[in-house]
């Protein structure tokens, strides 16, 4: 005769093997899934994985909130996953992916079915080419690898070359493999959209490979912005005082339509509250420098703000829009450095920069009054 305790153990084991949840297992499942939000990123050639990791560290309290990053296939696939894939709550997307998806009839032109929580950082477009390619025009009728089809680099490259009316043959190999093809002369260039410094290029130094400039079209300023890559970003690829002009594409923290799934919607609402409230901590040393570009209150034309995010901003508008003195000093110093570098002037001394900042603050206070 089987004793009651042994009978219970055997029954529990049997139920576990047959996939029938026991009360203890159901309770454990509820605990593990409490407050979970899933965020889809692109691959490791960009910086969204690092950004998602830092968001996860900010949000996770060990009991009631948790962010789970998921590495997706491509920017376009991430957009589709956000609309249709079960469990994906948020995704980091380039802002031009919506327009591209509409052009390709991947989503409706009237209802994308997603919202944005906040505009994030800019990602820079890199064009790494062989030595015989002096300007972007030299790529005419040649092969340029843009990474996997549907990826952020592919989308921006296709739109850019179309804007420039430059016929190139895009290839779609993983960028790490394409780097070898570039060395061997099988392709002329690699197009890469990534926040600087891009992990793929950060430590790259090879004779015969260099970054080339991208002209900026004013007609594209609603989606793209002019920017530069400098020797600070890529000391092994760019010589001092010879910045490379290029374009930047904004990225966005997008969220799915979740009103029909209250628990997931509530989890994302909690995420927004913790993210926005704790955002200043992401500006501290040790975090990715791209957080310094983020203003969570920035509006994004053509996108709809997630209602709980909009409500948080309305309640905390002064906190959200007014940087601290230290943050303002950092932004001011960066602005001065970039302006002087752009005009060929030597760097300004720290003390001189501090005096100029105090004058700026005095002027700013007078303007406010």
pLDDT, mean over the chain: 83
Q: Which residues of 79-89 are buried (b: 16+ CB within 10 A; e: fewer)?
A: bbbbbebeebb
Classified by CATH at the fold level, domain 34-322 comes out as D-Maltodextrin-Binding Protein; domain 2 (3.40.190)
Parse the chain into domains and list their residue ranges: 1-28, 34-322, 327-368
- Statement: residue 274 has pLDDT above 90: yes
* Cβ neighbours of 285 (radius 10 Å): 5
Measured CA distances, 5 to 11, 12, 20 (Å): 10, 11, 19
pLDDT at 219: 54
Residue 366, pLDDT above cutoff 60: no
Q: Give the pLDDT band of residue 369 (cuts 50, 70, 90).
A: very low
Q: What does the pLDDT look like over 28-54, one tens digit per residue?
A: 666 667 778 999 998 776 788 999 999
Least confident segment among 95-104, 128-137, 303-312: 95-104
pLDDT (tens digit, 9 = 90+) per residue, 204-213?
877 789 999 9
Query: pLDDT at residue 7 above 80?
Result: no
pLDDT band at 2 (very low <50, low <70, confident <90, very high): very low
167 has pLDDT over 50: yes
Q: What was the pLDDT predicted at 318? A: 66
**110 pLDDT higher than 80:** no
Phi, psi (rounded to 5 degrees) for 79: -65, -45
Q: Which two tokens stand for residue 221?
A: 């300023």
Which of 213-227, 231-245, 351-365 is predicted most confidently? 231-245
% of the chain exceeding 90 in pLDDT: 40
Handedness of CA 172, 178, 182, 184 (dihedral sign): negative
Give residue 9's pLDDT: 53
Rounded Cα distance, 172 and 193, in Å: 14
What confidence score (pLDDT) does residue 270 get?
94
pLDDT digits (tens, 9 = 90+) for 244-269: 999 999 999 999 999 889 999 999 99
Q: Is 245 exposed, middle or buried (0-12, 13-18, 19+ CB in 10 A)?
A: middle
Per-residue model confidence (pLDDT) at position 104: 79
Cα distance between residue 67 and residue 50, in whole Å: 13
pLDDT of residue 368: 37
Q: What is the pLDDT of residue 313?
A: 93
Residue 168 reports pLDDT greater than 90 = yes
If pLDDT is split at 50, 70 and 90, which confidence band does 150 have?
confident
299-342 pLDDT, tens digit per residue, is 888 788 999 999 999 998 766 655 556 666 776 777 777 767 76
């Amino acid at each position: 005769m089987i004793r009651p305790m042994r009978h219970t153990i055997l029954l529990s084991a049997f139920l576990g093997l047959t996939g029938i949840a026991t009360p203890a297992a159901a309770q454990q499942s509820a605990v593990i899934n409490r407050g979970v939000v899933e965020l889809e990123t692109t691959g490791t050639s960009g910086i969204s994985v690092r950004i998602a990791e830092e968001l996860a560290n900010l949000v996770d309290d060990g009991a009631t909130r948790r962010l789970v990053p998921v590495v997706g296939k491509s920017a376009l696939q991430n957009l589709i996953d956000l609309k249709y894939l079960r469990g994906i709550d948020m995704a980091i997307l380039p802002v031009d992916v919506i327009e591209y998806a509409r052009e390709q009839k991947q989503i409706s032109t009237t209802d994308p079915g997603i919202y944005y929580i906040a505009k994030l950082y800019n990602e820079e477009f890199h064009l790494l080419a062989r030595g015989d390619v002096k300007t972007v025009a030299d790529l005419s009728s040649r092969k340029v690898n843009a990474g996997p089809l549907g990826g952020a680099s592919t989308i921006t490259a296709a739109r850019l070359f179309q804007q420039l009316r430059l016929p190139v043959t895009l290839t779609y190999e993983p960028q790490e493999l394409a780097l070898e093809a570039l060395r061997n002369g099988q392709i002329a260039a690699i197009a890469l959209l990534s926040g600087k410094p891009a992990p793929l290029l950060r430590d790259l130094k090879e004779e015969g490979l260099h970054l080339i400039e991208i002209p900026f079209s004013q007609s594209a300023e609603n989606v793209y912005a002019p920017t530069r890559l400098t020797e600070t970003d890529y000391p092994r690829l760019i010589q001092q005082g010879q910045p490379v002009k290029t374009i930047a594409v904004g990225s966005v923290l997008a969220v799915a339509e979740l009103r029909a799934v209250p628990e997931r919607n509530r989890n994302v609402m909690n995420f927004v509250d913790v993210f926005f409230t704790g955002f200043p901590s992401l500006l501290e040393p040790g975090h990715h420098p791209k957080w310094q570009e983020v203003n969570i209150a920035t509006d994004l034309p053509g996108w709809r703000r997630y209602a709980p995010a909009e409500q948080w901003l309305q309640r905390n508008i002064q906190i959200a829009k007014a940087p601290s003195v230290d943050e303002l000093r950092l932004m001011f110093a960066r602005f001065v450095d970039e302006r002087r570098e752009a005009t060929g002037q030597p760097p300004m001394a720290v003390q001189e920069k501090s005096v100029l900042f105090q004058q700026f603050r005095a002027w700013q206070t007078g303007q406010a009054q």
